[in-house]
Amino acid sequence: MLNPFLAARAVFRPSRPDLIVDSRVRSLQVARAWAGIVVTLAVAVLYKAAAPQELAMDRFNDAWINVLILTCALPLVVGAFVVAARPPNRGVFARRIRHPLIAVGAMFASMFMFVLAAVPELSGLREALGPVVLIPGGMVLFLWVLPFAVYGIVLSLTHVFRTADIHEVVPPLVSVSASWVMALVNVFTDAYKGVPGVVAMALLLGAPLTVSVLAYYELRRMRRLHGITVRNTLLR
């Protein structure tokens, strides 16, 4: 627990004992996450001409928005998945929800600490605590909580808040739903303002289409290599 990166792995990576791990799919998921970072930074450099600090902050904000949308999609998809399953699988899946819930709680708790440290309404409290508390607290915040939160965001997006601990078919279902919701949010917020139309359309549809293709590939490999499908998982 003294190492924030090891702590983030323990909290945000799936760890079910009988979990099926496909190394090829895992590599594609990591590649997709980094490709998204590179493309977003490239677009910002070419069309937004922002300073390096602003680029880093914009990318962090984008990742955090993705986490928020993923958090919104997660209970809907997981809830529908559990309800659709027949006994005894329904009870098994319901009991496994605690691991994704712990991951979500840990993420929001870590981000809430930054809110407490920066919100203007609590400036009086921070002054009352004085440097005796604020200095060590600030060191913990930036040396432990910050790397835990940043690495946690990357792991949460890659492993979909460790929903594979519920079942292997859940992460692709949640990720596809969240990616298309994110695309709709980008449309209504005009996220690619100032970017040429063709490029903006490619960026808008590129992420959800890529996630959908990867999800299809993942589900297809599970069916072909392990005989696992959404239908037989739900006992339908």
pLDDT in tens, 136-172: 878 888 899 999 998 998 888 888 889 999 999 999 8
pTM of model > 0.85: no
Residue given tokens 């791990």 in the structure block: 21
Q: Tokens at residue 12, please?
A: 């945000």
Q: State the alpha helices, DSSP H only, in the chain.
A: 4-12, 23-47, 52-84, 89-95, 98-118, 123-129, 131-140, 146-159, 170-189, 197-226, 230-233
Of 175, 18, 166, nearest to 84 by C-alpha is: 166
Question: pLDDT per residue over 33-63, tens digit each?
Answer: 666 666 666 666 665 544 555 555 665 666 6
For the chain, list residues with pLDDT below 50. 49-50
Which stretch of DSSP H or E encloses residue 164?
none
Whether the CA torsion 201, 207, 210, 216 is positive or negative: it is negative
Domain boundaries of the chain, sorted by first residue? 4-10+22-233
